């Protein structure tokens, strides 16, 4: 497992957990949560931070991370592409987490605008990490388009509902040969472990840690859950059976008198 690196854009990462940076009670808790999670990649919402300020948010981080800017809050292809270009110019990275939502209540991705935006961003040489619905066909189309990582939800953003459609996730994992992360809906560590046991490449989360009663401890729990789930998957989980399967053979048993 020590050589089980995650490779993104030619770079090796030990952690398969991407952490968000919003909703924490304060910067100290956020920094300690990020550190204990051992994440190496963090997301930042470009539209919500003032990068020109003397109190630059990025300068207040205690460790060095790979930044994954996102287009949170964008409703149209035009504003998503503009935000991506601003992020590239400001942070000097081709990475972009594309979020393009359709409504303010459910925050669900708009599949049509999303696909067209991905097509444009890939042409502009962005490495696109795309947040999308758990539609297997859409996920496959986005992968074929050239997205770096496809990131289906398992339930609405911030809901903590966990896996709602395991069948679709199994199809997605089977149909897509590239890197698939789960983004949105993780509520508890067992959700993250389950996802990793299914063979997904990683998890992106925020609310489940930042909004918990103890974000630092929860960040540690999520880290361990992802490590455990990945190790379980790589070790070969036994197939489910409807009938019992004895662990000790009946051969050689003492006969009844």
Q: Tell me which of 97, 179, 194, 223 is the catalytic residue.
A: 97
Residue 21: φ, ψ to 5° = -125, 15
Six-digit token string for 149: 């990582």
Are 102 and 115 in contact by the 8 Å Cβ rule? The answer is no
Tokens describing residue 151: 């990131």
Cβ contacts of 57-61, under 8 Å, gap ≥ 24: 57/21, 60/27, 60/31, 61/31, 61/34
Tokens read off for 71: 């287009």
Question: Catalytic: 97?
Answer: yes
Ramachandran region of residue 23, left (φ > 0), alpha (ψ -120 to 50) or beta?
A: left
| 2 Cβ contact partners less than 8 Å away, ≥ 6 residues apart | none
Rounded-to-integer distance, Cα 131 and Cα 195, Å: 16
Instruction: Supply the angle between the helices 111-123 and 136-145 in degrees, to the nearest 10.
Output: 10
Number of other CB atoms surrounding residue 5 within 10 Å: 12
Going 211 to 212 to 214 to 219, the CA torsion angle's sign is negative
Do residues 199 and 170 make contact, with C-beta atoms less than 8 angstroms apart? no
Residues designated catalytic: 97
């Amino acid at each position: 497992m020590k050589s089980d690196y995650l490779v993104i854009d030619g770079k090796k990462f030990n952690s398969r957990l991407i952490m968000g940076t919003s909703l924490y009670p304060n910067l100290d808790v956020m920094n300690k949560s990020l550190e204990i999670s051992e994440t190496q990649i963090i997301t930042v919402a470009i539209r919500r931070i003032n990068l020109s300020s003397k109190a630059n948010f990025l300068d207040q981080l205690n460790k060095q991370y790979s930044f994954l800017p996102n287009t949170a809050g964008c409703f149209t292809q035009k504003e998503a592409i503009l935000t991506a270009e601003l992020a590239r110019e400001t942070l000097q990275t081709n990475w972009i987490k594309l979020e393009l939502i359709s409504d303010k209540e459910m925050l669900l991705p708009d599949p049509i605008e999303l696909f067209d935006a991905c097509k444009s961003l890939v042409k502009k040489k962005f490495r696109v990490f795309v947040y999308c619905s758990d539609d297997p066909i859409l996920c496959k189309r986005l992968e074929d388009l050239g997205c770096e990582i496809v990131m289906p939800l398992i339930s609405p953003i911030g809901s903590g509902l966990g896996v709602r459609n395991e069948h679709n996730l199994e199809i997605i994992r089977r149909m897509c040969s590239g890197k698939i992360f789960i983004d949105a809906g993780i509520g508890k560590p067992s959700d993250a472990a389950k996802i990793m046991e299914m063979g997904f490449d990683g998890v992106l989360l925020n609310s489940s840690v930042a909004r918990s009663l103890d974000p630092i401890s929860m960040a540690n729990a999520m880290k361990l859950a992802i490590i455990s789930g990945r190790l379980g998957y790589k070790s070969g989980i036994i197939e489910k059976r409807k009938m019992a399967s004895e662990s000790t053979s009946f051969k050689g048993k003492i006969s009844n008198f």
